[in-house]
Structure 1
Amino acid sequence: MRTWQPTEEADPVGTPAFCRDCLHDAGEAPRCPHCGSPRLARHAELDTLHIAHIDCDAFYAAVEKRDDPALRDVPVIIGGGKRGVVSTACYLARVKGVRSAMPMFKALALCPEATVVKPNMAKYVAVGRQIRERMLSLTPLVEPLSIDEAFLDLAGTQRLHGESPARALARLARSIEAEIGVTISVGLAPNKFLAKIASDLDKPRGFAVIGSKEAVAFLAPRSVGAIWGVGKATQERLAREGYRLIADLQAADETALARRFGAEGLRLARLARGIDERRVSPERETKSVSTETTFDVDISDFRTLEQELYALSRKLSDRLKAAGHAGRTVTLKLKTADFQSITRARSLEDPTRLAHRIFDHARELLAKEANGRRFRLIGVGVSELADPALADPADLVDLEGARRGKAELALDDLRARFGKDIIDRGILLDAPGRRQTPQPHRNAPDELAAREAASSTPTSSTPPGAAPRRK
């Protein structure tokens, strides 16, 4: 496979170029004539492209290294427990072979000297928002993909900023590194597909450009797995049909691909030629919200499983309420001790954002699977997101459910005022590892009110009966 140098052209004469460190014009020199930096952006289409993909470099690990100087020069893995998975790893750990989603025991075997840090999502989200605000200062057309990456369309911003989109992006990267303390990589291209590929070419602190004229030749030697949306199963299917490289798709007739693979074949034919007409959409729709946990020890006991499930249901409910979402479908996720994944879902009549409704239905799904098998992971999520104004309507039949809903909102108010650990429902009272409840103080709710609110969930060691009639 040929290598590709993102900052060099075969003929540099007359090719637009600037220094990514001082932002001065670089001319034809291999280094910046102003500051001596070798980090130059040089490309024939540099001043005309405006679609970008920005991806933070090893984001979670970078934030932890920023906040703890002792971690700066050591391998860092973000993850939890020996049986969990790697959320991300810094580049020092990646050199040893550590990758995201790798089991922690395997990561530590590859890099035993690594420092493991448990994820601090609240901190990462806060830093992600700071970065997002800076993106929005360049253009309103920002399409988030996650808390640390997004597409941007800077078309028409040159007059506003007094410089090309490419130079404005380099200035953004420089300011984020200097003022927020993390680094980003930028991919600049004529469309989203190529920009996403470009951002991964020159990491970390990268700035790569793929132009429209070179797109076909650039893509040809790459595996079909480089195409957005082509996972392992699709890649194997394409290989069986003789399509291993993108060049194989380029050589195929578009009509033949559409006939063989349907709409997916037509999409592959166009992307293989660097054609992607998707727009940068700032209103990227959230399709589902979920949370999960991996146990340190396999669990078969139903009581322990339901306690873990309730804690996750409450966490999920908090996220839904904070984001202004509600969902019509509740999904339970389990992974057995032998790594078999189990997913079960239930559709509700009305969308919900309440922890007790999410838990009740997920608990019934759990009861059908908790037959003595040992589980290493449990998760819960909601999908078919809907307007929260339509969620959890009053029900004249299920009066108990309405009462529990009001009690939950009252608990939310208490937790917002006095801290999340000020009060819990009864199901968590004997949960393993539960911290001792802090002693009341003069600002805490009185003991009777707390006991009455907490008693709204019965405790049991047996699988549940049917949930209330309203679903």
Structure 2
Amino acid sequence: MGSPRAIIHVDMDAFYAAVEVLDHPQWRGLPLVVGELGPRSVVSTASYEARRYGVRSAMPTLTAQRLCPQALFVPVRMARYREVSAEVFAVFGEVTPEIEGLSLDEAFLDVSRSLRLFGGGIEAIGRRLKQEIVRRTGLNASVGMAHNKLLAKLASELSKPDGFLRIRPEQVHAVLDPLPVGRLWTVGKVAESNLHRLGIRTVGELRFAEPRRLQQACGNQAAHWQRLARGEDDRPVQPDAGEKSISAETTFVTDLTTLDQALSWLARLAERVGERVRAQQLKGRTITLKVRKPPFETHTRQLSLGEPTDATRELLDAGRTLLQRWWAAEKDPRLRLLGIGISQFAAEAQSGLFAPSPGQDRLADRINQRFGQGSLVRGVVLKSRRGGSENS
């Protein structure tokens, strides 16, 4: 049997409401409901201040108004939420390509193959996710960590808001046993009532229940529920293959105004992406350049390679071509953000006679893993350490 998986569940705290407060700071601390008042309208999200009055998602807004008359009701701005969600998922893509998005504000990440790359284990990656999300978006995320999806999601739920919790294998029963049985995945209200009639109110009581009696009362689901009660869950993280990518990007405090500066930063980002691709044992065919010029005008450019690659040199060469083309086409080129990514991953192909050797890249990876990121870099990268400020 292989090593336990390393699964992270990230759930943004009161996401829609938090975005509204971010854009309207004067609303901070108020009971805020995202959803317009009307006979057919429902609550999309409520701030934690509104939740204290019993306001919940999917509740009719008129009911929410009765519970909290002083609440501020604001319309849903889905385009804005998608924009912020894209920033959050970009952070996910920088630690692993194994991302299963559940909604705009929630995802599972399998970071099993990223542990050595980032060092410090699953908690180091979880901490990085929280820090990067708040740095780039100003929003808090709750992060749950465990060896399977069931426990990772439970960890984020138990630690909300602004949560950070890991459930280790030896802690499973201590955490699960006291919980109400309804907290288990797939145990809905009807199932919970059936279990209550059997005298089973906690997860621990479900775990120790006599299997035959449980099956007679609850049918085929009984064995499944008892596996969950033991903390067992073998569901894999299922990424959308069409969206799988590895990328890195940087937002600058001071806009870049020269191509030389931009190329230097591009080399730094390409090294970071190349190292992650090799750590995941992947090879990609499509290179994407992302640029943003002030104030918030974002462009992407793509280039497809003849063969999949994990070589930093090929990644950087393609990125340079795209950046130079964009720069030459602009009347007044200035960069607020620069990013590069690789996607369209394929099975590892046999190297051609003139394909770049991965030996130097892998040696650099080992040196940087041992002595810290940036210990060994390309000469052009050194220019990015002068006069530039990195936000991400």
Secondary structure at the counterpart of residue 9 of structure 2? strand
Higher relative contact order (CA 8 A, sep 6+): 2
Q: CA deviation at 1:256?
A: 4.8
Matched, 1:158 2:98: no
Give the equivalent residue in structure 1 for 2:142.
185
CA contact (8 A) 2:194 2:218 kept: no
Matched, 1:72 2:33: no
Matched, 1:81 2:37: yes
Task: Give me the whole-angstrom Cα distance separating, in 2, the residues matched to 1:167 and 1:145.
Answer: 23
Aligned-partner residue type, residue 71 of structure 1: W
Task: State, as a whole percentage, how many aligned pairs show the same letter.
Answer: 43
Give the equivalent residue in structure 2 for 1:346.
none
CA contact (8 A) 1:143 1:284 kept: no
CA contact (8 A) 1:49 1:166 kept: no
Matched, 1:211 2:179: no
Task: Give me the whole-angstrom Cα distance separating, in 1, the residues matched to 2:216 and 2:234.
Answer: 21
Q: Kindly tell me: are residues 80 and 284 of structure 1, through their superposed partners in 2, closer, same or farther at Cα, counting changes over 3 Å?
A: farther
CA contact (8 A) 2:126 2:145 kept: no
Task: Give me the whole-angstrom Cα distance separating, in 2, the residues matched to 1:218 and 1:93.
Answer: 29
Q: CA deviation at 1:49?
A: 7.0
CA contact (8 A) 2:6 2:111 kept: yes
Give the equivalent residue in structure 2 for 1:91.
48
Query: Can you list the C-alpha shifts for 1:391-450, whole angstroms capped at 9, x where unaligned?
Result: xxxxxxxxxxxxxxxxxxxxxxxxxxxxxxxxxxxxxxxxxxxxxxxxxxxxxxxxxxxx
Larger radius of gyration: 1
Matched, 1:62 2:50: no
Task: Give me the whole-angstrom Cα distance separating, in 2, the residues matched to 1:136 and 1:255.
Answer: 45
Give the count of matched residue pairs: 238
The equivalences for 1:20-169 within 5 A come to: 50-83=6-39, 84-169=41-126
Q: CA deviation at 1:261?
A: 3.4
Give the equivalent residue in structure 1 for 2:356.
none
Task: Give me the whole-angstrom Cα distance separating, in 2, the residues matched to 1:252 and 1:188.
Answer: 28
Matched, 1:276 2:233: yes
Q: Kindly tell me: are residues 232 and 132 of structure 1, through their superposed partners in 2, closer, same or farther at Cα, counting changes over 3 Å?
A: same
Task: Give me the whole-angstrom Cα distance separating, in 1, the residues matched to 2:164 and 2:44.
Answer: 24
CA contact (8 A) 2:6 2:112 kept: yes
Q: 2:205 aligns with which of 224, 237, 248?
A: 248
Q: CA deviation at 1:120?
A: 1.0
CA contact (8 A) 1:49 1:190 kept: yes
Q: CA deviation at 1:171?
A: 1.4
Q: Kindly tell me: are residues 208 and 162 of structure 1, through their superposed partners in 2, closer, same or farther at Cα, counting changes over 3 Å?
A: closer
Give the equivalent residue in structure 2 for 1:328.
none
What are structure 2's unaligned runs of at least 5 residues?
Answer: 243-392
Extract structure 1 runs of 4+ deviating beyond 3 A.
253-263
Task: Give me the whole-angstrom Cα distance separating, in 2, the residues matched to 1:262 and 1:133.
Answer: 43
Q: CA deviation at 1:181?
A: 1.7
Matched, 1:263 2:211: no
Give the equivalent residue in structure 1 for 2:331.
none
Task: Give me the whole-angstrom Cα distance separating, in 2, the residues matched to 1:242 and 1:224.
Answer: 11
What are structure 1's unaligned runs of at least 5 residues?
Answer: 1-47, 286-471
Query: Can you list the C-alpha shifts for 1:307-347, whole angstroms capped at 9, x where unaligned?
Result: xxxxxxxxxxxxxxxxxxxxxxxxxxxxxxxxxxxxxxxxx
Matched, 1:232 2:211: no
Task: Give me the whole-angstrom Cα distance separating, in 2, the residues matched to 1:254 and 1:55.
Answer: 34
What is the TM-score when the length of structure 2 is the normalising length? 0.57
Q: CA deviation at 1:248?
A: 1.9
Query: Can you list the C-alpha shifts for 1:132-173, whole angstroms capped at 9, x where unaligned?
Result: 121111111111111110111110212222342211221111
Give the equivalent residue in structure 1 for 2:367.
none
CA contact (8 A) 1:85 1:101 kept: yes
Secondary structure at the counterpart of residue 275 of structure 1? coil
Task: Give me the whole-angstrom Cα distance separating, in 1, the residues matched to 2:217 and 2:95.
Answer: 43
Q: Where is the helix percentage greater, Structure 1 or Structure 2?
A: 2
Q: CA deviation at 1:127?
A: 1.3
Task: Give me the whole-angstrom Cα distance separating, in 2, the residues matched to 1:69 and 1:152.
Answer: 31
Task: Give me the whole-angstrom Cα distance separating, in 2, the residues matched to 1:160 and 1:194.
Answer: 24
Aligned-partner residue type, residue 11 of structure 2: D
Give the equivalent residue in structure 2 for 1:307.
none
Q: Kindly tell me: are residues 98 and 150 of structure 1, through their superposed partners in 2, closer, same or farther at Cα, counting changes over 3 Å?
A: same
Q: CA deviation at 1:96?
A: 2.2
